């Protein structure tokens, strides 16, 4: 069985690949993503008039449910965790590059770092657990002798998933209550 540390390295590498691809993406991709960007702006405008506690709850539940869904779907060739890591890395780098050009690097850092200190480790911890779990489930389906690894692996990975959820709590608090103050 692969140690969890190795899964952390794999998850971090996938996220890093996404970052590099996002930095290398041509600015013209903004035109291709205009519908998605508009949808995100509309979603943000829907959240703006809501009470901050409700916004915090929505952010926390969205992030935890996304990690949980990735964990549950990981036995399907680990596609969801791989995509979650690379796409999140790509999106952060791509959008940050655009915003840094329009505003400043300081603006980007003020918007990302305070909650990202908690959210990015949560993403990597949770997705590493999903990769580990998905791989063990796939191996157990292929080889009967690997089935004895299922329960210990699940227990270990659920602990890491709970740690990721715990990290998402301060991330959501900071994203809701602190980040808006830093960006005004």
Over the stretch 49-73, which tens digit does the pLDDT of each residue have? 889 999 999 999 999 999 999 999 9
Tell me what pLDDT residue 89 has.
Answer: 97
Span 107-129, average pLDDT: 96
In a domain, 34, yes or no: no
In a domain, 29, yes or no: no
Tell me what pLDDT residue 55 has.
Answer: 92
Tell me what pLDDT residue 41 has.
Answer: 76
Give the range of the structural domain holding residue 77, as residue numbers without chain letter: 4-23+52-182
In a domain, 45, yes or no: no
In a domain, 33, yes or no: no
Name which of 169, 146, 132, 136 is nearest 9 in CA terms: 132
How many CA atoms within 13 Å lie on the side-chain side of 6? 5
The 3-state secondary structure of 96-157, one letter per residue: HHHHHHHCCHHHHHHHHHHHHHHHHHHHHHHHHHHHHHHHHHHHHHHCHHHHHHHHHHHHHH
In a domain, 41, yes or no: no
pLDDT tens-digit map of 140-175: 999 999 999 999 999 999 999 999 999 999 999 999
Name which of 95, 96, 74, 76 is nearest 11 in CA terms: 74
In a domain, 120, yes or no: yes
Which of 36-40, 94-98, 102-106, 108-112 shows the lowest per-residue confidence on average (mean pLDDT)? 36-40
Question: Domain count of the chain?
Answer: 1
């Amino acid at each position: 069985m692969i140690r969890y540390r190795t899964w952390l390295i794999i998850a971090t590498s996938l996220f890093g690949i996404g970052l590099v691809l996002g930095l290398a993406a041509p600015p013209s991709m903004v035109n291709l993503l205009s519908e998605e960007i508009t949808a995100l702006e509309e979603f943000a405008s829907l959240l703006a008039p809501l009470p901050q506690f409700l916004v915090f709850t929505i952010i926390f539940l969205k992030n935890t449910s996304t990690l949980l869904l990735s964990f549950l779907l990981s036995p399907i060739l680990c596609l969801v965790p791989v995509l979650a890591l690379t796409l999140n890395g790509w999106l952060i780098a791509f959008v940050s590059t655009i915003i840094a050009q329009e505003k400043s690097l300081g603006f980007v850092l003020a918007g990302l770092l305070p909650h990202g200190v908690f959210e990015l480790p949560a993403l990597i911890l949770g997705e590493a657990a999903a990769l580990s779990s998905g791989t063990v489930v796939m191996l157990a389906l292929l080889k009967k002798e690997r089935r004895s690894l299922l329960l210990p692996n699940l227990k270990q990975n659920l602990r890491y998933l709970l740690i990721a959820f715990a990290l998402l709590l301060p991330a959501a608090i900071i994203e809701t209550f602190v980040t808006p103050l830093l960006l005004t």
